[in-house]
Amino acid sequence: MKNKRELRLELILEYLETNHSATVIGLSEAFRVSKTTIRQDLDELYGRGRLIRTHGGAVPVSSNPLAALPLCPMPRDEDIPHLSAKKALAREAVKLIREDDSIFLGGGSTFYILARYLKPYRNLNVVTTNISAVYELAPYLDHIYFIGGELVEMDGIYYTGGPKLPLELDKVFVNKAFVGVSGIDLNAGLTIYDLTQFSMYTSVRSIANEIILLCDWSKFGHQSAHRIGTIQGFAGTVITNRKTAPEYTDALKKMGIRLLTA
């Protein structure tokens, strides 16, 4: 005889198949249990491969075109550094995106967060190396082009890198590319810590009409091991936080770079 939890798990799966998606709040109200209990139930079903976790809920495996792929663990907000600053950047960045745009999303946590804000779009074309962003968007967007390569993980975000990226990126073109870096320094320029991403930065210049750099306040004044170039020669627009030091924001303005703060 099945216990109460197993019966509830079956009913959650039936609910998902009927409604095609569910939120933690909605399931909590439907089954009259706490949101914590529902999250644990969804995590259990996710671990069994019975559903796909989304931010704030879940969708059935049958509705997700990535169902044939191995399950990708969804990052936890508490594991993402400077989360509130990155959410602010994402809210500002989404103001630049229009229906029918073709955009590129970089591989870091900022772009996984940005993906959350793209769900209302219906005719958006997304090219990305960010596996976590793909899993987030797959139930909502029809036009996603994932760029494969060497698997990389940081802060619970999964993305690809390596020398094969240019071969795939050369097949696409976007009007807006949203990327980030590990550090911005007035002397060192733009630097990254992960060498697997170097080929992506060299390729994205040739496959995008416009490059928009999203960097939270902590990236300024920081230097990483690998230099990808000067700030002025790379991006036309920089989005950062209002708490970024004036010496950097003033310098960007003097370079003629469009600066947006959030």
Tens-place pLDDT, residues 18-65? 887 888 999 999 999 999 999 999 988 887 878 877 767 887 766 555
Which residues in the chain are classed under CATH 3.40.50.1360?
Answer: 77-261
52 or 160: whose pLDDT is higher?
Answer: 160
Pairwise CA distance, residues 12 & 45, whole Å: 9
Task: Assign domain 4-63 one CATH number from 3.40.190.10, 3.20.20.140, 1.10.10.10, 3.40.630.30.
Answer: 1.10.10.10
CATH 3.20.20.150 for domain 77-261, yes or no, is no
Q: What is the mean pLDDT of residues 1-29?
A: 88
Asked if 44 contacts 13 with a C-beta cutoff of 8 angstroms, the reply is: no
Q: Please, where in the chain does CATH 1.10.10.10 lie?
A: 4-63
Q: What is the C-alpha radius of gyration for the chain, rounded to an integer number of angstroms?
A: 20
> What percentage of the chain exceeds 90 in pLDDT?
59
